Every structure is written in structure tokens, then in C-alpha cells.
Chains A and B, each alone.
Chain A
Amino acid sequence: MNSLKHGFKGILKAVGVGSAYYYLKERVYLKMTAVVVQKDLSALSPLEPALDRAGVEILRISTSGVDFQPVNASARVRYRSQERRDKALFYLRKGYRGVALVKDGEICGDIWYWGHWDSHAHAVHPDLGWLAISCGCEDAYGFDLYICPDDRGKDWSRLLQSAALRQMKDDGFKRALGYYVLDNLPALWVHRTLKWSEVQRVEVARFFFLRQSRVKPSNLASAPPKGQQSPTTTTG
């Protein structure tokens, strides 16, 4: 139901800015190469100097720490973007964990991750199946990094992702996993400058709700062992 709600909101937003054609085209047919990456969490650089320079702070997202309700006296911060606030509530209900970048009491960016931490997280993150990622008990899967449009171009993506890596480590994880779309140059750059290493490339094609993914042949050697995950998956 929530997915439908978000999808409908997306269409309305796209119509509002005159890009409905591109929005619908992407929904109908999509072809891309996803690059699955990993990072060892044992050696991370200190974050504080970069935070001081940027004048921002980092916050673990929770229902008590963020003003999700109309009246919440204990909350220190609130979301700047209503759409992002709704998404955060959706992710929290799923049992995902989030890290926010806060400036002047407002959340201007966030990132989310999933891992085997408690009974809330019993449902495996849907990305893992179509990306053929084997996520062990010591692995966290990071996804959906967002920075408010007004705050882009300040190098905060790297800062936020670094903060998420630190949070994952504090939660006891040893390795972070994630992916970026090969054509997305900003995402590629953030991952490469933070020294993520490539695990495998996955070709993804989607027609309406039918998605097919295939680990690229040259990278099959690094794919998960047979039996754990199929290198070709189809989801409807």
C-alpha cells in the first residue's frame, strides 16, 4: 500500500515539473548496470574534522529523536522534506536503520541500512535478491542516500556515507555492502573516493513490474556460491 502511495506521489510530482514522460518511461522499461560494492569497516578515517568544517552534525534516526509527530517536545530535529519524512517512517516500520545529516535543527540528508540485527529485520531487503548479494550476519547493506537539492554540491554525500559506515561499525558489523548504477557518475565517484571495492556487476532490465537481473559473465567468479543465490533472478 505504501509503495502505491509513493508511486502515486511520484507521478503527481513528475506531472508538476513537466517530466511525466520521463518518469513513466522509467517506470515502464528500465535497463541498467548495477555495480555491487563492499567496504571493510575495520579501518575508517575520523569523521569529526569533516563535520566541523561542514558545520553539520550526525544523528541516528529514530521515532523519538526526530519530529515525526505534529507535537513532539522531545524531538531535537525535523525533516526539511515532507516526502523524505514519509519515506523515513516507512523505512523505520520496515526495521531499517538510518543516519541523518542535520544542520540548524533540520535534516537535510539521510541514508539507510539493513542487517540481521533483531526480529524486526526478519524480512530480507528486496535489493539483495535481484543484485545476487549474499549478506552474512556480519554484513550491513546500505541504500538510498539522499541530500536535499539545496545542499548538493557541498561534498556532503561522502560525509553522510562515511557517517553511516561508522554507525554500521558501531552496530557491530564488519563489512558494508551496497550498489550504484554505473551511469550515475556522482554515485560512482562517492564510492570510489571512499575506497569501496567492486564485487560484481549486474545487468538489470525491468518491464513494468517484471525485473530480470544477471551477473555479468566476466564477474561470475566473485558471485556467491551456487545454491545461495541464483546469478539470474526474475521478480514480478
Chain B
Amino acid sequence: MPTSGSRKEQVRQFIIEVLAKGRGALAPTIADSDNLIEEGIVDSLGITRLVDYLEITYSIKIPDEDILPENFESIIALEQYLDRRA
């Protein structure tokens, strides 16, 4: 399991390079507290890619009851969620 800091950067890079690519919103920089849902970055397709990425990269299973806006709305929220799952 990578350190908290490097994990956060990994997730940020994934969001910038895969989810936000071509949207023109926020990218190429995304701050920790930027709202990924309101910006349309984590939309209905984005959440599928993000969950797949997190499950494969960090070897975790994300149950449907955890797929809540408060867990995925920002990089900080994602980091806190991954901390709880560590």
C-alpha cells in the first residue's frame, strides 16, 4: 500500500489524465477540495472508471453502500475514504 501522500497524487493523476481529459474543466490542475461531481468530472461514466481504478490499484472491493457522493466528491474525500479502507 503506498503512503497517503503518494496515493493522493496517484489518484489526482488518474482523475486529471483519464476522467478530466478533454473536458476543459479544472484540468490540468485539480485542488484537493475541488468538487468533482459539480464539475462533471465524476459523472455516471466517471464513477465506473474511478471505482474500477481504485479496486484494481489498491486491491479493495468497494461495496455499493460506499458509493456515495460524500466519499467521491473531492480528492480529500477520496483520500479519507481510502484511509478508512486501509
Residues of A within 8 A of B (CB): 152-155, 157-158, 182, 185-190, 192-193
Chain B residues near A186 (CB-CB < 8 A): 44-45, 47-48
Lowest 10 CB-CB distances: which A-B pairs, in order?
A186-B44, A155-B40, A155-B43, A189-B47, A153-B45, A185-B48, A189-B44, A193-B69, A157-B44, A190-B44
CB of B82 within 8 Å of the partner chain: no
Q: How far is the CB of A186 from chain B (nearest CB, A)?
A: 3
- Asked whether, in the complex, the Cβ of A188 is within 8 Å of the Cβ of B43, the reply is no
User: What is the bound-complex CA distance between A155 and B48, given in angstroms?
Assistant: 13
When distances are taken between beta carbons in the complex, the residues of chain A under 8 Å from B68 are 192
* Residues of chain B with a CB closer than 8 A to A189's CB: 43-44, 47, 67
Decide: B69 and A192 in contact? CB cutoff 8 A. yes
Complex partner residue of A155 from B44, B51, B64, CB under 8 angstroms = B44
Which residue of chain B is the closest to A35 with respect to CB atoms? B64
Complex alpha-carbon distance, A114 and B68, angstroms:
28
B67 to A193, Cβ gap below 8 A? Answer: no
Residue in A154, A185, A190 whose Cβ sees the most chain B Cβ within 10 Å: A185
Number of interface residues of B (CB under 8 A): 13
Contact A188 B64 (CB under 8 A): yes
Contact residues of B with A, CB < 8 Å?
37, 40, 43-48, 51, 64, 67-69
Name 7 extra pairs, CB < 8 A, besides A153-B46, A189-B47: A153-B45, A155-B40, A157-B43, A185-B44, A186-B47, A187-B44, A193-B37
Closest chain-B Cβ to A170's Cβ sits at a distance in Å of 25
**Complex-state Cα separation, A185 to B49, whole angstroms:** 10
With both chains docked as a complex, state the minimum distance between the C-beta of A108 and any C-beta of chain B, in angstroms. 15
Given A192-B69, A193-B37, A193-B69, answer yes or no on A182-B64 (Cβ-Cβ < 8 Å).
yes
Kindly report which residue of chain A lies nearest to residue B47, judged by CB atoms.
A189
In chain A, what residue has the closest Cβ to B69? Answer: A193
Bound-state Cα–Cα, A153 to B50, Å: 13
CB proximity of B20 to chain A, nearest CB, Å: 12
From known contacts A185-B51, A192-B69, A193-B37, infer whether A158 and B64 are also in contact, taking CB-CB under 8 Å.
Answer: no
Determine if B43 and A153 form an interchain contact, defined as CB atoms under 8 angstroms apart: yes
Contacts of B45 in A (CB 8 A): 152-153, 186
Alpha-carbon gap, A158 to B37, bound state (A): 11
Tell me the smallest distance from the CB of A215 to a CB of chain B, in Å: 18
Whether the Cβ atoms of B40 and A185 lie closer than 8 Å is no
Complex contacts, A182 vs chain B, CB 8 Å: 64
Note all chain B residues with C-beta closer than 8 A to A152.
44-45
Find the residue from A152, A158, A190, A192 having the highest chain B CB count within 10 A.
A192
Closest CB of chain A to B34's CB: distance in Å?
15
12 contacting pairs across A/B (C-beta < 8 A):
A152-B44, A158-B43, A158-B44, A185-B44, A185-B48, A186-B44, A186-B45, A186-B48, A188-B64, A189-B47, A192-B69, A193-B69
